[in-house]
Structure 1
Amino acid sequence: MPPSVDHIRFVTEAYLACHPDERDSLTVLFAALTDADDPTNRKTFPAHVTCSAIVINGARHVLHIVHRASGKLLAPGGHNEPDDGHLRDAALRELHEGAGIPPNAVVPLSGFEDVPLDIDVHTIDANPSKDEPTHHHVDFRWVFLLGAEHPVTLQNKEVDGYEWRPFTSAASPTVRSKLALLP
């Protein structure tokens, strides 16, 4: 069963307790949570929830993968699936699918077990071939420590490459600023 509206709301409120100044930026999410459609379904428009894994290695670098469709360097992540019971489960599944790192190779960063590092709302362009209008992804970005060095094994169907980047070079400005605050 996909993450419930109650679960998404609980996680969002826990996040906003740490970042109250970001409430206005999540109005698209709150609208999706009041709609009758499943907010985790990739065909729910004008917005739906996605999840990403911010993975930190022992050198304090963050994993980025090159998404084939966009050519963008991003954290491993994507859409929720029906068997993802919680948002964090979706991030771990996407990490394993995209980068070959299994869930048992990472642990949540202390203090971020039940709350994401970041929630980002971004626009996705229309894709007529998939019958998708312009819409928003509300991306819950979960942060994990790589327990031991584990090889990255890319899913060649969707991923073209990867990089480990220092915190100061993380692709997302909001993730970069939140990583800078970590001890």
Structure 2
Amino acid sequence: MIVDDFLTSLAALPASPARESYLSFIRAGGSDALERDGGPEHVTASCFVFSPDLERVLLCFHRKGQFWVQFGGHIEPQDSSIADAALREAREESGIAELALRSDAILDLDRHELHGGFACAAHWDVGFVAIAAADVNFAASDESEDVRWFATNALPKNVPSSFPARIAAVVNSIAGRASN
């Protein structure tokens, strides 16, 4: 069951306040916590797409939110895991059909409240990573106004406030795993 696999993946992460909050949220909500209609707060899956040298990140300009962000969205019934949902969303929103996750390892946890055009109150986002060639063909989806590469150390101004720190942490995590 997807919720059980997700709890196992979360429990395997290093101890942190974010991990503990996610574990509590999932244990309390069960499989409903993974459903778009399971309540005003629920889990979403996302994917950071980096160039092979980790110097650039491919972002989409979110139509509803009006900000630049990684690819992602709600878990759908056909998704076999949170990682599978993240990959599906990244493929749909980037137009890169051959995109593959670097691994099934969770590299980012970010609960964020939503405002404006969103029906949900908050997303408990779970982030994964994919690598794409810098010259890959990509295209915006119906949910995005634009898709572009940005230097990881020179992100656009209209990103969520915590986004630069999240990008840096994900890059550092990947670089740390590569050197081990």
Q: Under a length normalisation based on structure 2, what TM-score does the superposition of the two structures give? A: 0.80
Residue of 6, 9, 12 corresponding to 2:10? 12
Corresponding residue to 1:43 among 31, 37, 41: 37
- Which segments of 5 or more consecutive residues in structure 2 lack a partner in the other structure? 176-180
Q: CA RMSD in A?
A: 2.4
Structural mapping, 1:137-152, within 5 Å: 137-146=123-132, 149-152=135-138
Structure 1 107/124 Cα, relative in aligned 2: closer, same or farther at 3 Å? closer
> Which residue of structure 1 lines up, in the alignment, with residue 167 of structure 2?
175
Matches for 1:33-182 after TM superposition, within 5 Å: 33-35=27-29, 38-60=32-54, 61-102=56-97, 104-108=98-102, 113-125=103-115, 132=119, 135-146=121-132, 149-155=135-141, 157-170=142-155, 171=159, 172=163, 173-182=165-174
Could you tell me which residue of structure 1 aligns to residue 25 of structure 2? 31
C-alpha separation between the residues in 1 aligned to 2:116 and 2:26?
18
Post-superposition offset of 1:70: 1.3
Percent of aligned pairs with the same residue? 26
Tell me, yes or no, if the aligned pair for 2:101 and 2:128 is still in contact at 8 Å.
no
CA contact (8 A) 1:106 1:147 kept: no
Cα displacement (A) at 1:95: 0.9
Distance 1:10 1:148 in 2: 34
State the TM-score, normalized to the length of structure 1.
Answer: 0.79
Match of 1:65, SS state, is: strand
